[in-house]
Structure 1
Amino acid sequence: MNEIIWPEGYLPGMTDNFVSNEIIIADLSAAQVWKFLYDTSKWESYYSNVADIRFHNVTGPELSQGAHFRFTTFEFPIEAEVLEYDPPADGKPARLAWHGWEEGSEEDSELQVHHAWLLEDLPGGRVRILTQETQKGKAAQEMAVTKPNPMLNGHQEWIVGLAEAASQQKRF
């Protein structure tokens, strides 16, 4: 199976916090799931932990390579830039990744994240949905020791909601 491509300084295990969430669903394709991931106007319909999505250098609501956008998640205002944008293609998984930072925070305590997605078609008409995030900063250190883990649970809600939204759309 394919894996996330990590930029320098964000390798899991070398940052303050890391979470990984994955599901494999039958009767769904990466292309069907992709529609609900790259279009941010759909996020709030299936994920309760995101709000206030705005774009700065593109019109949105669709993500694209280099898009600079803002959203609120886990009560943090996050500025983000899309660093990896590869829609699904025959034999190639879809990849989406952004670098994010906490808007308005002090430099010495600023939350920095790299959030990556991988949508991979598998044999037997299945799709693998993987999302992983590494984080740096004081808030990341605090989240890493919080029980239950808010990032792990929040991202699980996101991937399950994403799969359910794509599955429901497929039925119509």
Structure 2
Amino acid sequence: MHAINWPDDYQPGFTDNFASNEVIVAGLSVADVWPLLADTTAWPTYYSNASDIAFHDGTGPVLSAGARFRFTTFGFPVEGEVTEFVPPAAGQAARVAWHGWVEGDAQGRLDVHHAWLLEDLPGGRVRVLTQETQKGVPAVELAKARPNPMINGHQEWLDGLVESARVARKAR
């Protein structure tokens, strides 16, 4: 199975916080899931922790390479820039990743790298992996929190994404 492509400054284990969530489900494909992840207007329909999504550069609402956007998540107003965008293609994993940041002083600044990887697996299964590394004082606090809000929030995102893909597939 494939792995996330990490920028050097955001390698897991060398940042203040790291969250990893993954699902492997039968009966769906990357083609079923990708549109619901790439189109940001779908996010709030299946993930309660994403709101106020807007694009700065006239692109969107579908993510694309280099697109600049913002959204609110975990109570943070996150600015983002897509740093990796590989749509589905036969024989390769689909990928999307963004560098995100929350402006602030030394106590409030947050920098993240959030990446997604989708791949079809044998037996009519799809794998969806999302991982995020974070730097900054808020990340240190998030890493200490129990239950872990990043793990739980990203699991909600994955579960909602999969359920929405199942509903959309049945409607076809």
Fold conserved (TM > 0.5)? yes
Counterpart in 2 of 1:117? 116
Counterpart in 1 of 2:134? 135
Residue identity matched to 2:166: S
CA contact (8 A) 2:69 2:79 kept: yes
Counterpart in 2 of 1:42? 42
Post-superposition Cα deviations, 1:83-108, rounded to whole Å, max 9, x if no partner, equal 00001110111000000000x31256
Counterpart in 2 of 1:28? 28
Q: Structure 2 CA distance, aligned partners of 1:121 and 1:50? A: 26
Q: Structure 1 CA distance, aligned partners of 2:89 and 2:58? A: 24
Q: Structure 2 CA distance, aligned partners of 1:31 and 1:171? A: 14
Structure 1 stretches (4+) deviating beyond 4 angstroms? none
Q: Superposed, which structure 2 residues align to 1:75-114 within 5 Å? A: 75-102=75-102, 104-107=103-106, 109-114=108-113
RMSD: 0.9
Counterpart in 2 of 1:68? 68
Where does the alignment leave 5 or more consecutive residues of structure 2 unmatched?
none
Post-superposition Cα deviations, 1:123-161, rounded to whole Å, max 9, x if no partner, equal 000000000000000000000000000000000000110
Aligned residues: percent identity?
61
Q: In the comparison of the two structures, how many residue pairs are matched?
A: 171
Residue identity matched to 1:147: R
Counterpart in 2 of 1:54? 54
Secondary structure in 2 aligned to 1:40? coil
Q: Which moved more, 1:106-115 or 1:53-62?
A: 106-115
TM-score scaled by length of structure 2: 0.97
Counterpart in 2 of 1:147? 146
Secondary structure in 2 aligned to 1:91? coil
Where does the alignment leave 5 or more consecutive residues of structure 1 unmatched?
none
Q: CA deviation at 1:58?
A: 2.7
Secondary structure in 2 aligned to 1:130? strand
Q: CA deviation at 1:109?
A: 4.1
